[in-house]
Structure 1
Amino acid sequence: MDDVPIIDLSKAPGERAAWDRPSWQVYLWGICELLFVTNPWQISSGLRIRVLRAFGAEIGRGVIFRPRTRVKFPWKLHIGDRSWIGEGVWFHNQDHIYVGHDVVISQETFLTTGSHAHRRDMALITRPIRVESGAWITARCMVLGGAVVGRSAVVEPMSVVRGVVGAGERWGGDPFLQRGPRW
């Protein structure tokens, strides 16, 4: 087993590679996220949205943003009108996440745009995520960078989403397969 290589993580490139803002702004966001967004108290969805917008998030009208949500970088978050963001959703958006209008992202779903060059040097690799209008990502799903969830598509609970889910399709399971049409 000694012939299996190990990547020296002290030499891994990319620390803070996704920040694209001054350190003070990232740290200030961390404090505001803790107090107003991740906070489990049932404070106003409108207050959460105002704080996110103050840090550059583009959030449409009539959006519901439940407690215990997390947003890595609000300036890389774009959500259309009347969308619902469920309790405990985590936008780990080291790249942009685009959410259309009238989208539901249910409880405990994790959307992550980042990964690592695991065969090379563990450098950060990011790809955006797009969730098109009318889609529903149900509870406890994981959406990986580069994924596209099509218009009015449904993703079943506890699914790992990679690649493209077509418009009006229903996907889920392990392995992640098309289950049929939504309608």
Structure 2
Amino acid sequence: MENIPVIDLSRAPGERAAWDRPRWVVYLWAVCELLLVTNAWQISSSLRVRVLRAFGAEIGRGVIFRPRTRVKFPWKLHIGDRSWIGEGVWFHNQDHIHVGSDVVISQETMLTTGSHAHRRDMALVTRPIRIEDGAWITSRCMVLGGVTVGRSALVKPMTRVDADVAANAVWDAAGEVGERFERASA
């Protein structure tokens, strides 16, 4: 086992590789996020949305942001109209996350766009996430970078999404379940 290489993490590149804003902006965002977005108090959803927009997030009309939400870089977050973001959702968006209109992302779900070149040098590797209109990512899911969740798809609780989900599919840890998501007509 001694001949298996180990990466010297003191030489790993890119501690701030995804920042793409001045240090003071990133630090100011961290303070505002803690006080006004991640805060568990039941303060106004519209206040959370205003703060996110002030830091560059593109958020449509009628979006609901519940408490304890985390957003790594608001300037890389894009959400359409009338979407619901559940309590404790974490957008670890070192790359862009695009969320369509009428999307539900339920409690404690994590969306992460970053990983590392773990066999080479631990450099940051990012890929965007796209969640299309009408999709529902249920509670405690993990959505990985490079994934598209199709229109009106449903991802079952506690599922890791590491491949594209077809439109209108129901998806669990084993992949597409085969049943289709029935939506009530408006």
Superposition map of 1:65-76 within 5 A: 65-76=65-76
State the shift of 1:162 in Å.
1.2
Aligned to 2:18: 18
**CA distance, structure 2, for counterparts of residue 64 and residue 120 of structure 1:** 41
**CA distance, structure 2, for counterparts of residue 125 and residue 101 of structure 1:** 28
Superposition map of 1:16-165 within 5 A: 16-165=16-165
State the shift of 1:84 in Å.
0.1
Contact map agreement 1:172 1:179 (CA 8 A) in 2: no
State the shift of 1:118 in Å.
0.8
State the shift of 1:119 in Å.
0.9
**CA distance, structure 2, for counterparts of residue 71 and residue 129 of structure 1:** 14
**CA distance, structure 1, for counterparts of residue 119 and residue 20 of structure 2:** 26
Aligned to 2:180: 181
Deviations 1:14-67 (A, max 9, x none): 110000000000000000000000000000000000000000000000000000
Normalising by structure 1, report the TM-score: 0.98
State the shift of 1:176 in Å.
3.4
**CA distance, structure 2, for counterparts of residue 137 and residue 159 of structure 1:** 9
**CA distance, structure 1, for counterparts of residue 158 and residue 49 of structure 2:** 27
Letter of the 2:32 counterpart: C
Letter of the 1:137 counterpart: I
Structure 1 stretches of at least 4 aligned residues deviating more than 4 Å after TM superposition: none
Give the number of equivalent residue pairs: 182
Contact map agreement 1:159 1:176 (CA 8 A) in 2: no
**CA distance, structure 2, for counterparts of residue 121 and residue 146 of structure 1:** 21
**CA distance, structure 2, for counterparts of residue 168 and residue 129 of structure 1:** 18
State the shift of 1:179 in Å.
3.8
Letter of the 2:115 counterpart: S
The runs of 5 or more residues in structure 1 that have no matched partner are none
State the shift of 1:181 in Å.
1.3
State the shift of 1:99 in Å.
0.1
Taking every aligned residue pair, what percent have the same amino acid on both sides?
76
The runs of 5 or more residues in structure 2 that have no matched partner are none
Q: How much is the aligned-residue C-alpha RMSD, in angstroms?
A: 0.8
Letter of the 1:72 counterpart: K
**CA distance, structure 2, for counterparts of residue 34 and residue 2 of structure 1:** 44
